[in-house]
């Protein structure tokens, strides 16, 4: 029995060594990607990025054009199009599925419950969860970005309005807003729009591209109003001031709505956690009083 265990351990060690050597060989075959002009990756992605690169090279030729276009729009709306390409995002999803499935298998093995059925369930549920997690992360990034844009938009509109009323054109007003306004997602998008203008793109087309990238109703209304005012020759300062007032009123109404929803959202934790503790605390003294009176 002892020599069988030794042989089994040697075979397992050899298998692990072959896997490590094969992985290192595969990583060496992949060209080092120049990410000088990309945004920095999150910390967790940096740890698994070599695997993502290898997987991307394998999965990229198998992706459809419609899939990549849809993913590119989602990355743009979340502000991650300078962090990941659509191909890399699908590679990340595949690596995430493998990692989560392997983690479930490892946990099941450590609990001593690993079998054919349990292993199959770990692969299925772990793979599905890992495949969906990058989409959940991207959706959360998009929500945070939308909140930041909606919060900063009235401030930028005020800067643009004051600049236009002082004699600058809309482009100059946007430049002043980017220079003086708070940093964030909206500043980055206005900067991208200014780069499009410097590259020779018409202002209406640059505004349309910004609205398509961000996919936020407030930005779409703002760009549509500017384009329409340019076409009909309306007073831009009045248009911008009306847009700023409307955006500020929407922000106030949204804050009021969240304040009114707070008591309803607090009801569940109160009923589940706070009220039972109060009942136990009061019930304890009632129980002591009943013992003193001889009732119990």
* Joined tokens for residue 105: 């298998």
pLDDT of residue 293: 78
Each residue's pLDDT tens digit, 69-119: 888 888 888 888 888 888 889 989 999 988 888 888 888 888 777 778 877
Inform me whether the pLDDT recorded for 36 exceeds 80.
no
Q: Which residues in the chain belong to E strands, given as ranges?
A: none
Each residue's pLDDT tens digit, 271-293: 787 778 888 888 888 878 788 77
pLDDT of residue 21: 60
pLDDT of residue 28: 55
pLDDT band at 183 (very low <50, low <70, confident <90, very high): confident
pLDDT of residue 33: 61
The Cα 197–Cα 102 span in angstroms is: 49
Q: Are 192 and 201 in contact (CB under 8 A)?
A: no
Sign of the alpha-carbon dihedral angle for 90, 91, 97, 100: negative
- Name the nearest CA neighbour of 248 among 218, 224, 210: 218
Q: Average the pLDDT over each of 15-19, 39-43, 215-219 and give the range with the smallest value.
A: 15-19
273 C-beta neighbours (distance < 10 Å), count: 9
Inform me whether the pLDDT recorded for 122 exceeds 60.
yes
Calculate mean pLDDT across residues 206-218: 84
Cβ burial of 138 (10 Å; 0-12, 13-18, 19+) is buried
pLDDT of residue 175: 86
pLDDT band at 11 (very low <50, low <70, confident <90, very high): low
Inform me whether the pLDDT recorded for 135 exceeds 80.
yes
* Joined tokens for residue 87: 């191909």
Each residue's pLDDT tens digit, 227-268: 887 777 667 777 777 777 777 777 777 777 878 877 888 888
- Name the nearest CA neighbour of 56 among 21, 18, 27: 27
* Joined tokens for residue 199: 């590259």
Calculate mean pLDDT across residues 13-21: 56
- The residue to which tokens 């589940």 are assigned: 272
The Cα 76–Cα 231 span in angstroms is: 28
pLDDT band at 173 (very low <50, low <70, confident <90, very high): confident
Q: Average the pLDDT over each of 3-7, 72-76, 119-123 and give the range with the smallest value.
A: 3-7
pLDDT of residue 6: 55
Inform me whether the pLDDT recorded for 22 exceeds 80.
no
Q: Are 186 and 153 in contact (CB under 8 A)?
A: yes
The Cα 55–Cα 35 span in angstroms is: 17
pLDDT of residue 4: 60
Average pLDDT, the chain: 80
Each residue's pLDDT tens digit, 185-205: 888 888 888 888 888 888 888
Q: Phi/psi of residue 75, each to 5°?
A: -65, -40
pLDDT of residue 69: 87
Calculate mean pLDDT across residues 52-56: 85
């Amino acid at each position: 029995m002892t020599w069988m265990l030794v042989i089994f351990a040697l075979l397992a060690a050899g298998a692990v060594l072959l896997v490590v050597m094969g992985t290192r060989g595969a990583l060496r075959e992949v060209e080092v990607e120049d990410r000088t002009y990309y945004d920095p990756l999150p910390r967790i992605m940096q740890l698994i990025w070599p695997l993502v690169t290898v997987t991307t090279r394998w999965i990229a030729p198998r992706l459809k054009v419609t899939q990549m276009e849809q993913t590119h729009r989602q990355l743009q709306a979340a502000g991650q199009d300078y962090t990941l390409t659509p191909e890399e995002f699908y590679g990340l999803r595949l690596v995430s599925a493998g990692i989560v499935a392997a983690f479930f298998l490892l946990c099941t093995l450590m609990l001593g419950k690993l079998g054919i059925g349990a292993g199959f369930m770990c692969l299925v549920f772990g793979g599905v969860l890992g495949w969906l997690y990058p989409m959940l992360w991207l959706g959360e990034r998009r929500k945070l970005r939308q909140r930041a844009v909606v919060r900063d938009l009235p401030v930028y509109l005020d800067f643009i309005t004051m600049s236009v009323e002082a004699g600058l054109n809309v482009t100059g007003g946007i430049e002043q807003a980017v220079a003086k306004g708070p940093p964030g997602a909206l500043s980055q998008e206005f900067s991208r729009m200014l780069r499009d203008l410097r590259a020779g793109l018409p202002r209406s087309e640059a505004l349309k591209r910004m609205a398509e990238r961000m996919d936020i109703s407030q930005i779409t209304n703002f760009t549509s109003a500017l384009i329409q005012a340019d076409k009909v020759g309306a007073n831009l300062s009045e248009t911008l001031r009306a847009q700023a007032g409307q955006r500020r009123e929407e922000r106030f109404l949204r804050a009021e709505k969240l304040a009114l929803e707070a008591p309803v959202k607090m009801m569940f934790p109160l009923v589940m956690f706070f009220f039972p503790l109060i009942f136990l605390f009061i019930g304890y003294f009632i129980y002591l009083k009943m013992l003193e009176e001889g009732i119990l």
